[in-house]
């Protein structure tokens, strides 16, 4: 089983959009969301057919995806996307490591 | 899965079409020279069916294209532009119109002016009148219907105004073919394009450019035509002049089938529009800003919500409810200020003749869950 996530650039209508898709090595569950919630304001839409989460950090990073899925879509601010991307990847790795240690 | 992205690519297609495409693929190809009986028979029949859809009598003025974008490029890049030519277009245009015009403008071939549109995306007659008087354009390039709002332009009136002032008219009928009649002959259009993969319910990779016999355009692509192979230049005869290389026969067979199917099963546009209006009522009740498109329209609706971005709504609908729609600029980036919509775009639902009440009820439930 993979231990790392795979990151791929996601294109949309805007030339300067900085959106990335992270394919996680495991499915997002409530424990994962608990960890994620420490990074910013988390909203979980449990009334949806497939529950959906949205997270926004104080610095404007946006993460979203579905529970029981292994995809996280990230949006970074164009002016500081490189720092934000590096920070996000570091935090995602930390979450994965913590879960592995449990 | 519920599919609400029909103004991009329709789905489902004409029932039975995939069998025809498969059968064509399985058949032995006809000999290379297009003058053979078998090839000519099949090709001409599809061309004639396209001519009927575009409202013209002479099928030889129909040039196969891989889509409307391809036809627009052939028409605009091949047109005999002269020093100082001005082109008028509208803020409702798709990039399929805008980008070839930008390219030509950058190359110094023409000056392009973009006319404003109404709050639902239509070109108003008074606006055109003002621009015709001020700029004395060589050509007007406009869409039959906005792919963002669905508003259908009154091409008969607009074309007559342009022709009165000696201005050529090039119509992009991508959004209306299969829903409303196109009368390229009656409206005296100089050029027009359609695409097969939207409301005509044909395969992707099909489309056509109509070129009036009154004008002549240069080929953008050159190559083999199967006739006059001993000459260096493309033949003068239409449509071969603009059709080098092997055509997409497989998909054209599918398109031909779809055109026949459409002829025998005319779309009940009013029934689909009732579903569109019902969805609009729900969206307004949920606090969304919806573009109000009055009068003749295609089954398209556009909205934004203060609660979530268009992209978030699209992701939620798809990821959590299996509903496919389109979000963002819809390749028509200039229209949004005229609709009083944000520059970041909108959510667009585009329904089909096959959309059911059960499907729209399911979408309404999903919207309630997201936006209430």
Domain-located, residue A82: yes
Which residue numbers in chain A have pLDDT < 70?
1-2
**Considering CB atoms only, which of A13, A14, A66 is closest to B320?**
A66
What is the spatial distance between Cα B290 and Cα B313, in angstroms, rounded to a whole number?
A: 14
Q: Which residues fall within 8 angstroms of residue B222, CB to CB, at 6 or more apart?
A: B233, B234, B244
- Taking CB atoms and an 8 Å cutoff, what residues of chain B touch A54? 312
Q: Give residue B29's pLDDT.
A: 81
- Taking CB atoms and an 8 Å cutoff, what residues of chain B touch A50? 319-321
Q: Looking at residue A55, which CATH number applies to its domain? A: 3.30.310
> Domain total for chain A?
1
What is the spatial distance between Cα B94 and Cα B268, in angstroms, rounded to a whole number?
A: 26
Q: How many A/B residue pairs have CB atoms within 8 Å?
A: 40
CA atoms within 13 A on the CB side of A56: 6
Residue in A20, A34, A35, A27 with CA at minimum distance from that of residue A2? A27
Q: Give residue A82's pLDDT.
A: 97
- Taking CB atoms and an 8 Å cutoff, what residues of chain A touch B329? 13-14
- Taking CB atoms and an 8 Å cutoff, what residues of chain A touch B320? 45, 48-52, 66
Q: Which residue has the tokens 């610095």?
A: A59
What is the spatial distance between Cα B135 and Cα B130, in angstroms, rounded to a whole number?
A: 9
Do B203 and B185 meet the contact criterion of CB atoms below 8 Å apart? no
Residue in B347, B324, B335 with CA at minimum distance from that of residue B9? B324
Q: Which residues fall within 8 angstroms of residue A55, CB to CB, at 6 or more apart?
A: A36, A37, A39, A40, A41, A42, A43, A62, A63, A64
What per-residue string of b and e applies to B10-45 under the rule 16 or more CB within 10 Å gives b? beebbeebeebbeebeeeeebeeebeeeebeebbeb
Q: Give residue B226's pLDDT.
A: 87
Residue in B215, B175, B213, B214 with CA at minimum distance from that of residue B197? B175
Residue in A19, A42, A18 with CA at minimum distance from that of residue A95? A42
What is the spatial distance between Cα A11 and Cα A7, in angstroms, rounded to a whole number?
A: 13
Q: Do A47 and B321 touch (CB under 8 A)?
A: no
Domain-located, residue A42: yes
The full set of domains in chain B, from first to last, is 2-11+267-371 (3.90.1150.10), 17-264 (3.40.640.10)
Do B318 and A65 meet the contact criterion of CB atoms below 8 Å apart? no
**Considering CB atoms only, which of A13, A47, A48 is closest to B329?**
A13
- Taking CB atoms and an 8 Å cutoff, what residues of chain A touch B345? 13
Q: Give residue A92's pLDDT.
A: 97
Q: Give residue B34's pLDDT.
A: 53
- Taking CB atoms and an 8 Å cutoff, what residues of chain B touch A10? none
What are the residues of chain A with a beta carbon less than 8 Å away from any beta carbon of chain B?
12-14, 45, 47-52, 54, 64-66, 69, 73
Q: Do B311 and A48 touch (CB under 8 A)?
A: no
Give which of A11, A14, A67 to mutate to test B binding, by max B Cβ within 10 Å.
A14
What is the spatial distance between Cα B314 and Cα B92, in angstroms, rounded to a whole number?
A: 22
Do B204 and B211 meet the contact criterion of CB atoms below 8 Å apart? no
**Considering CB atoms only, which of A13, A14, A64 is closest to B312?**
A64
Q: Give residue A100's pLDDT.
A: 87
Q: Do B370 and A64 touch (CB under 8 A)?
A: no
Digit-by-digit pLDDT tens for chain B (372 residues) are: 999 999 999 999 999 999 999 999 999 887 655 544 455 555 558 999 999 999 999 899 999 999 999 999 999 999 999 999 999 999 999 999 999 999 999 999 999 999 999 999 999 999 999 999 999 999 999 999 999 999 999 999 999 999 999 999 999 999 999 999 999 999 999 999 999 999 999 999 999 999 999 999 999 999 999 889 999 999 999 999 999 999 999 999 999 999 999 999 999 999 999 999 999 999 999 999 999 999 999 999 999 999 999 999 999 999 999 999 999 999 999 999 999 999 999 999 999 999 999 999 999 999 999 999
Q: What is the ipTM of this complex?
A: 0.96
What is the spatial distance between Cα A54 and Cα A72, in angstroms, rounded to a whole number?
A: 10
Domain-located, residue A97: yes
Q: Do B320 and A14 touch (CB under 8 A)?
A: no
**Considering CB atoms only, which of A12, A13, A52 is closest to B320?**
A52
- Taking CB atoms and an 8 Å cutoff, what residues of chain A touch B328? 12-14
**Considering CB atoms only, which of A12, A14, A48 is closest to B316?**
A48
Torsion angle (degrees, nearest 10) of CA B228, B230, B231, B236: 0
Domain-located, residue A54: yes
Rounded percentage of chain A residues whose pLDDT exceeds 70:
98
Give which of B307, B316, B345 to mutate to test A binding, by max A Cβ within 10 Å.
B316
Domain-located, residue A1: no
Domain-located, residue A45: yes
What is the spatial distance between Cα B91 and Cα B335, in angstroms, rounded to a whole number?
A: 5
Measured in whole angstroms, the distance separating CA B164 from the mean position of its chain's CA atoms is 25
Q: Which residue has the tokens 């000696």?
A: B166
> In terms of residue numbers, what domain contains A93?
6-101
Domain-located, residue A58: yes
């Amino acid at each position: 089983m993979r231990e790392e996530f795979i990151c791929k650039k996601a294109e949309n209508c805007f030339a300067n959009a900085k959106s990335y898709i992270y394919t996680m090595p495991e499915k997002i569950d409530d424990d994962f969301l608990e960890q994620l919630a420490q990074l910013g304001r988390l909203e979980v839409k449990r009334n949806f057919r497939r529950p959906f989460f949205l997270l926004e950090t104080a610095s404007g990073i946006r993460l979203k995806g579905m529970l029981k899925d292994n995809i996280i879509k990230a949006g970074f601010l164009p002016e500081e996307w490189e720092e934000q991307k590096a920070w996000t990847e570091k935090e995602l790795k930390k979450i994965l490591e913590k879960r592995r240690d449990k | 899965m519920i599919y609400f992205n029909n103004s991009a690519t329709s789905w489902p297609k004409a029932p039975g079409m995939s069998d025809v495409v498969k059968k064509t693929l399985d058949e032995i190809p006809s000999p290379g020279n297009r003058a053979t009986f078998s090839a000519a028979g099949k090709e001409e029949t599809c061309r004639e069916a396209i001519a009927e859809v575009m409202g013209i009598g002479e099928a030889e003025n129909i040039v196969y294209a891989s889509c409307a974008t391809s036809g627009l490029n052939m028409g605009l890049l091949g047109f005999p532009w002269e020093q100082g030519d001005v082109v008028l277009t509208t803020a409702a245009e798709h990039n399929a119109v805008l980008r070839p015009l930008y390219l030509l403008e950058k190359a110094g071939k023409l000056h392009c002016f973009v006319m404003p549109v109404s709050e639902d995306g239509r070109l108003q007659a008074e606006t055109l009148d003002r621009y015709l008087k001020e700029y004395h354009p060589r050509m007007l390039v406009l869409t039959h219907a906005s792919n963002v709002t669905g508003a259908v332009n009154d091409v008969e009136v607009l074309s007559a105004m342009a022709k009165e002032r000696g201005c050529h008219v090039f119509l992009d009928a991508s959004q209306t073919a299969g829903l409303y009649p196109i009368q390229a002959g009656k409206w005296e259009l100089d050029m027009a394009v359609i695409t097969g993969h939207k409301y005509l319910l044909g395969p992707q990779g099909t489309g056509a450019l109509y070129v009036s016999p009154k004008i002549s355009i240069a080929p953008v692509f050159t190559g083999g035509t199967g006739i006059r192979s001993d000459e260096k230049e493309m033949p003068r005869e239409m449509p071969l002049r603009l059709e080098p290389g092997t055509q997409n026969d497989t998909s054209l067979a599918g398109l031909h089938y779809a055109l026949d199917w459409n002829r025998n099963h005319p779309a009940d546009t009013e029934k689909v529009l009732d579903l569109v209006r019902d969805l609009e009522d729900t969206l307004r009740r949920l606090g969304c800003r919806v573009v109000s498109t009055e009068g003749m329209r295609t089954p398209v609706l556009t909205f934004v919500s203060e609660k979530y971005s268009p992209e978030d709504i699209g992701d939620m609908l798809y990821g959590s409810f299996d509903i496919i729609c389109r979000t963002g600029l819809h390749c028509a980036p200039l229209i949004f200020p005229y609709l009083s919509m944000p520059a970041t775009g909108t959510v667009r639902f585009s329904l089909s003749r096959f959309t059911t009440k059960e499907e729209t009820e399911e979408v309404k439930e999903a919207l309630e869950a997201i936006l209430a």
